[in-house]
């Protein structure tokens, strides 16, 4: 007859838990586009969670649309991930909104203490950004992305040419740039001074020069871009452009880009574009 404290039965350690982390990461890498499988892997054991969680939070999609569920509306997911300490894992941020609800992405709803924790952000996509709402504190709200951001996509932003260029110039190491949905500048006729061209850019004397001249050595993508005057101002303020690749469709100002990138351009794709005379 045995005396003393009875032995406590133990559960054998899972074989998955004994795999080297390097092998686990190789396995997880095959599942990066399968969110359900990544979630299952993250619940397997600690090492599998460590390997899976960066892929689960690699891309953060935020919406401001009125019909979206409240749990995914701006800025709820941002605040939730901030509380869990997961924002440093986000490498791509997509902010989706419509033209009519762009007021929702405003300084009042943009948490300055939350955004700096997106410390590894490399790609930023914003639809209908109302830049004048953030002037003159653009750098205060977005400047902390500068050390890591390499790719920027702007879809139909609101603002003068100089304000848009200033926003692009916030990011010191920016290489890839995508501009979409840029209409020609047109002011209401009843607000125009005499003999003012309706297509002329409104005078902007308040926006300073961009804080940085980004490298812009990667790819330039442009779709539905009809503001050649913005390109002229960008080339002037940045001292030229240095893109190695261009993908252009339905736009004006091709000749400006061709001349600006003549010494660096290696590959280009042009389809259904407005080609200026002499190109």
CB 117 within 8 A of CB 87: yes
d(CA 276, CA 236): 19
Burial letters 77-94, b for 16+ CB under 10 A, else e:
ebeebbeeebbebbbebe
The one-digit pLDDT tens for each residue of the chain (279 residues) are 455 555 544 445 566 667 777 777 777 777 667 777 767 777 777 777 767 677 667 888 887 655 555 555 666 777 777 787 888 888 999 988 876 665 567 787 776 667 788 899 999 999 999 999 998 889 999 999 999 999 999 999 999 999 999 999 999 999 999 999 998 765 444 444 444 444 455 667 678 889 999 999 999 999 999 999 999 999 999 999 999 999 999 999 999 999 999 889 999 888 755 445 444
CB 251 within 8 A of CB 274: yes
CB 255 within 8 A of CB 278: yes
The phi and psi torsions of 156 (rounded to 5 degrees) equal 45, 55
Q: What is the pLDDT of residue 98?
A: 74
- Look up the pTM and report it: 0.76
In terms of Cβ atoms closer than 10 Å to its own Cβ (0-12, 13-18, 19+), residue 156 is: middle
């Amino acid at each position: 007859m045995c005396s003393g404290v009875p032995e406590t039965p133990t559960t054998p350690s899972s074989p998955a838990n004994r795999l080297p982390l390097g092998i686990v990461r190789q396995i997880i890498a095959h599942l990066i586009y399968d969110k359900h499988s990544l979630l299952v892997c993250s619940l397997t054991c600690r090492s599998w969670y460590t390997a899976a969680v960066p892929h689960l939070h690699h891309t953060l999609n935020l919406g401001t649309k009125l019909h979206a569920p409240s749990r995914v509306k701006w800025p709820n997911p941002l605040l939730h991930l901030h509380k869990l300490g997961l924002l440093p894992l986000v490498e791509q941020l997509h902010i989706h909104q419509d033209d009519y609800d762009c007021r929702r992405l405003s300084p009042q709803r943009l948490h300055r203490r939350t955004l700096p924790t997106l410390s590894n952000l490399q790609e930023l996509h914003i639809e209908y950004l109302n830049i004048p709402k953030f002037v003159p504190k653009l750098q205060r709200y977005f400047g902390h992305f500068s050390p890591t951001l390499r790719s920027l996509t702007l879809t139909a932003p609101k603002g003068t040419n100089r304000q848009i260029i200033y926003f692009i110039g916030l990011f010191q190491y920016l290489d890839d740039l995508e501009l979409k949905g840029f209409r020609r500048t047109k002011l209401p006729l009843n607000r125009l001074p005499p003999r003012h061209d309706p297509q002329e850019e409104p005078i902007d004397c308040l926006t300073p020069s961009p804080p940085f001249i980004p490298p812009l050595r990667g790819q330039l993508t442009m779709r539905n871009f009809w503001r050649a005057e913005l390109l002229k101002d960008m080339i002037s303020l940045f001292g030229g452009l240095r893109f190695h690749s261009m993908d252009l469709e339905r736009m004006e100002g091709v000749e400006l880009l061709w001349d600006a990138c003549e010494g660096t351009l290696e590959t280009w794709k042009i389809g259904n574009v407005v080609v200026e005379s002499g190109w």
